[in-house]
A and B are shown apart, each in its own frame.
Chain A
Amino acid sequence: MIELLIILAKIIVIVAPLLLAVAYLTFAERKIIGYMQGRIGPNRVGPRGWLQPIADALKLLFKEIIVPTNANRFLFVLAPILSIGPALAAWAVIPFDAHLVLANIDASLLYVLALTSVGVYGVIIAGWASNSKYAFLGAMRSAAQIVAYEIAMGFALVGVLMAAHSINLRDIVLAQSGGIVHWFWLPLLPLFLVYFISGVAETNRAPFDVAEGESEIVAGFHVEYSGMMFAVFFLAEYANIILISVLAALLFWGGWLSPFQGIPYLEGWFAVVPGTVWLLAKSAFFSFCFLWFRATFPRYRYDQIMRLGWKVFIPITIVWLVVLGIAIVSKVPPWFN
């Protein structure tokens, strides 16, 4: 019984800061894109707009939830839950430090990959259950897109597990120890790019946000949702952004390892910084990239998305897996000796 309570407390310790981070990522997005476009962004609620996410949440809480006529009520309510569930459940196996992990399971990389691929059901079911043409179009687009990019993402992760000889996230990070050149971004650079771009596509973020496509299909799969149910979709999207960022840091950028490892003097000076801070800093940078992309790139056309996924990324990953296999067999230093 006590054990269960301790696990529950650990879950709260992970999920509560995560939800706070999600709330403030929405604020960061509006501020950052605002400054990139020469605006100020929200600055009315609280000092410099810092209470804006809380005001947004309160507003959405008090809004009426409308279920469209002839919609499938059960599935309509289930869809946002199916969307946020996997986005939060994946955090169970994320290691924040060498010993700071809720569940250090053997196949944690596979578990994360499986859960991120399940998240698409929220989008598909929402689009279908809404009984709306626009929502349905958004769901169809999302289904085809996610299947295409899932394969490229899976292949990129195969490269990671080949290099690390493990599918446990903790072991993958530990396999990268030895300094910034030992991290997997260097030997796996093409796979990292494929992984990160596929991650942007999997979270339905700009420039791959055709599932929402507000200029073509209003708001895509969540056009019929209002109030808190809409907010839950929003939360899931941002939780997934943070998840993809943390995974990019863990798999390719040394996770909680210090970037000054192996450098004289600097290593000693920064030894007091806890590993979690490095992980959070790296993840924050990748989350920033998501916002940066949204402010920079125009939306891809649908056939271009499909071409990029199937005809560019999958061949790149397959070729690089062969290169990587040769490198591992011939023990190329400093990574594979």
Chain B
Amino acid sequence: MITEKVMFFVFASVLVFAALRVITARNPVHSALFLVLAFFSSSALWILLQAEFLAITLVLVYVGAVMVLFLFVVMMLDINLTKLREGFIKYLPVGATVALLIIAEMIIVLNANFGANKITSPMIHGPGYSNTAAIGGVMYTDYLYPFEIAAVILLVAIIAAIVLTLRRKVGAKSQSPAAQVQVRKSDRLRVVKMPVERKEIGQ
């Protein structure tokens, strides 16, 4: 139990540190890498809660795919940070108002629903417990419709993203592999039969 607590505090402090560095790091690539670290630490916290399926999926989806794409984009863009910081004073009142509102809302919600006395400590399951099977069972019975609706929304988002960005350029040249494969010798090459020609000597 004591090791679990120590590990929780280690991972939680790494998580908070990494999350802070995401917004304070000067280099956007460093920010993205700190976000990766944050995902890893939160995945470790989920493992401590015996939610191994969620933890591994977090690493697989967010670290393995989403953040790779993020890094890809961030590395390609040459972001000039001094330019981005120019309007800091100008936007400060609006930003501060929004931040204060969010903080106030969070205080209200957290006070009402959370707290050491309001939440029961998580159940500690025996060795036979499978978090994967438990999630699967709930997802395909109790939460079947929300799950399916979420999937459809994601599908719509994928199609929308493709429709918005797919522009066929007029006159763009591209290869058609199907046509390339189907080419036969007779389409390209004409064998001509002709009599042997001799070079006449001495003329």
Contacts and interface: CB of A to CB of B under 8 A. Distances in A.
B57 A118 contact: no
Interface string B155-181: 000000000000000000000010000
B4 to A, nearest CB: 16
B13 interface: no
Nearest to A116: B64
Nearest to B129: A106
Contacts of A143: 68-69, 71-72
Given A136-B75, A167-B132, A113 B68 contact: no
A151 B61 CA distance: 10
B64 A107 contact: no
A219 B56 CA distance: 33
Interface stretch (A56-64, A121-129, A244-252): A121-129
A118 B65 CA distance: 9
B65 to A, nearest CB: 6
Contact of A107 (B29, B53, B63): B53
A66 interface: no
Interface residues of chain B: helix, strand, loop or mixed (majority): helix
Most central of B64, B69, B75 by chain A CB within 10 Å: B64
A111 B69 contact: no
Given A128-B29, A128-B75, A147-B68, A117 B60 contact: yes
Given A105-B52, A110-B57, A143-B68, A117 B63 contact: yes
A150 interface: yes
A128 B68 CA distance: 13
A105 B56 CA distance: 12
A118 B131 contact: no
B68 A124 contact: yes
A107 B56 contact: yes
A117 B63 CA distance: 8
Contact of A114 (B59, B68, B75): B59
A113 B58 CA distance: 12
B35 interface: no
Contacts of A118: 59, 63-64
Interface of A: 75, 105-107, 110-111, 113-114, 117-118, 120-121, 124-125, 128, 136, 139-140, 143-144, 146-147, 150-151, 154, 167, 304, 307
4 tightest CB-CB pairs across the interface, nearest first?
A117-B64, A114-B60, A114-B59, A110-B56
Interface of B: 29, 33, 36, 52-53, 56-57, 59-60, 63-65, 68-69, 71-72, 75-76, 130-132, 177
27 contacts: A106-B132, A107-B52, A110-B56, A113-B64, A114-B57, A114-B60, A114-B64, A117-B60, A117-B63, A117-B64, A117-B65, A118-B64, A120-B64, A121-B36, A121-B68, A124-B68, A124-B71, A124-B72, A125-B33, A128-B29, A136-B75, A140-B72, A140-B76, A143-B69, A147-B72, A150-B65, A304-B177
